[in-house]
């Protein structure tokens, strides 16, 4: 009786090292605070002209997790568009930059503008949260097929 060689299915499961995961998830870059243009002061001087910027708390820089793209909703200005209120952008929190999961594609809901046309003031698009782009595929951490 011939022994049938057991066929082994090549099952490659890439386990993600916690260190590696930390590196992927935790890598942040320092970018210039868009709201105050890196000056660290409230650009509108709402409380006082000496007030610290409410976005970067006076640092002039903010940390954004990589990969970073320009906020589509405010076009990177950090200021809430379409209103006269002098608030920071509700899509990026005033940073002007947002994290995008790659590969990304233009948001099908807003066509990449990041804007949801609501009256009286447009809002950040619900689908892409104002980023203008959405991840092409869902990132499933721990399953190892990405």
- Give Cα separations from 117 to 49, 72, 122, 133 (angstroms): 34, 14, 5, 17
Question: Can you point out the beta strands (E) in the chain?
Answer: 28-32, 61-65, 68-70, 97-99, 104-106, 115-116, 123-124, 133-135
User: Residue with structure tokens 């409230």?
Assistant: 42
When the beta carbons of 71 and 100 are compared against Zn ion, the nearer one is: 71
Closest distance between Zn ion and the C-beta of residue 92, in Å?
Answer: 3
- Dig out the tokens for 107 from the structure: 């948001």
Closest distance between Zn ion and the C-beta of residue 18, in Å?
Answer: 32
When the beta carbons of 92 and 100 are compared against Zn ion, the nearer one is: 92
Closest distance between Zn ion and the C-beta of residue 140, in Å?
Answer: 22
When the beta carbons of 100 and 110 are compared against Zn ion, the nearer one is: 110
What is the contact surface with Zn ion in residues (CB under 5 A)?
A: 33, 35-36, 53, 55-56, 71, 73-74, 89, 91-92, 107, 109-110, 125, 127-128
CB atoms closer than 10 angstroms to residue 14:
9
When the beta carbons of 16 and 106 are compared against Zn ion, the nearer one is: 106
**CA–CA distance, 13 with 142 (Å, rounded to integer):** 10
């Amino acid at each position: 009786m011939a022994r049938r060689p057991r066929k082994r299915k090549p099952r490659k499961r890439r386990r993600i090292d916690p260190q590696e995961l930390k590196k992927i998830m935790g890598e942040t870059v320092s970018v210039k605070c868009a709201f105050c243009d890196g000056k660290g002061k409230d650009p509108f001087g709402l409380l006082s002209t000496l007030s610290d910027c409410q976005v970067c708390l006076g640092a002039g820089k903010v940390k954004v997790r990589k990969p970073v793209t320009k906020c589509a909703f405010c076009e990177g200005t950090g200021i809430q568009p379409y209103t006269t209120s002098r608030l920071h952008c509700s899509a990026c929190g005033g940073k002007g930059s947002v994290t995008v999961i790659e590969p990304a594609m233009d948001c099908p809901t807003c066509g990449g503008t990041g804007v949801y046309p609501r009256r009286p003031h447009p809002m950040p698009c619900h689908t892409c949260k104002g980023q203008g782009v959405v991840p092409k595929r869902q990132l499933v951490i721990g399953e190892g097929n990405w």
